[in-house]
Amino acid sequence: MSADRPVVLAVIIGAHGIAGEVRLKLFGEGAASLKLYKSFEATGRTLTLKTVRDGPNGAVARFAEVTDRNTAEALRGTELTVARSALPPLAEGEYYHVDLIGLPCLSDAGAELGTLVAVENFGAGDIIEIEKPDGKRFMVPIHAAQIDAERAVIDAAFVE
């Protein structure tokens, strides 16, 4: 896992008001978690966080570099990232989804399945998506996998 790999914490989904605030879709544990970072990389530029608060469907933030609605609206779709090394340390048995992407996947019978390419959550728990060598993909619940830093071993009952 590269410590410099960018991790998306939020995406700007539009302007909020006329003074340059933006609405954010969050990919972490709420607006307060963004306060841990002074700045974010945003498509080749740095945005310095001034304030952030809970908002409709996510959060509302103000950045030092964004002072009007037009600038805020122009940032729609911009991902806010930090380096993986900037994230807080994890407890034993915890992981960040970004750390799982790219792991080789094997069945518990030893067959090579492919590579873990995504972690999704549709409301009932995490689902991992695995891409086979032929490019086809399949999904399994994360509880059907034993995951460590080197690989993911999938219960054969969940393998296509």
pLDDT at 160 over 70: no
pLDDT at 45: 94
pLDDT in tens, 99-154: 899 999 999 998 999 999 999 888 788 899 999 999 999 999 999 999 988 899 99
Positions of E strands within 20-155: 21-26, 39-42, 45-55, 58-63, 79-83, 104-107, 112-121, 126-131, 137-141, 145-147, 152-154
Q: Is the pTM above the cut of 0.85?
A: no
pLDDT at 2 over 60: no
pLDDT at 56: 81
